[in-house]
Amino acid sequence: MTIDFVIERDIARSPGEVFAYVVDPTKLASWQRNTVSAVPDGPMGLGTKIREVHRAPAGKQIATVVEVVEYEPDRVFGMRIIEGVPVHGRITFEPSDTGTRFRFRIYSEPTGITRIAQPILRAILRWQFDRHCTNLKSVLEAPPGPSGEAAAISPPAPTTRPARSADPTSDGL
């Protein structure tokens, strides 16, 4: 039993603008609103690992490590979870008449107890990622702010490598 679905949105921004926004970890919480933090281990690109923390029901937090497995600027961004529930994603950005055709494929091969709960997990993931994609479209298509600049499009913040922990049990991500 697998989980595999695609969510699509047309976004009134160029593929370059949408791609730059999506791959910027400092912007993740603006459209994946359950995100607490997203810290990459270096500049964004193929092989980059991002430690993400997300809010879950009942006040819990879920930590994951996501690895970038596809990275073609303005075209494709693929990721797989290497620590945490193995739910992977592949996003494509295609020019369209209105700007960008954004396609987010979410897929997983549940094992163990999650395999039993697969139908529920699929429904929850579809609902959650549908909301994320709707949020992304809303943020990127928001009217310009008072300065005349688009509210959501701004240069990405510099990405710095987090300090390595002195704790020998820490992986330092």
Q: Is residue 48 part of a domain?
A: yes
Q: Is residue 146 part of a domain?
A: no
Q: How many domains does the chain have?
A: 1
Domain that holds residue 83: 3-140
More confident residue, 157 or 81: 81
Residue 160 has pLDDT above 50, yes or no: no
Task: Show Cβ contacts of residue 40 under 8 Å, excluding neighbours closer than 6 positions.
Answer: 25, 48, 49, 50, 159
Q: Is residue 171 part of a domain?
A: no
Q: Is residue 165 part of a domain?
A: no
Task: State pTM to two decimals.
Answer: 0.80
pLDDT (tens digit per residue) in 110-121 = 777 777 877 888
Average of per-residue pLDDT across 50-76: 94
Q: Is residue 134 part of a domain?
A: yes
Q: Is residue 155 part of a domain?
A: no
Residue 29 has pLDDT above 50, yes or no: yes
Q: Is residue 90 part of a domain?
A: yes
Arithmetic mean of pLDDT over the chain: 85
Q: Is residue 152 part of a domain?
A: no
Residue 66 has pLDDT above 50, yes or no: yes
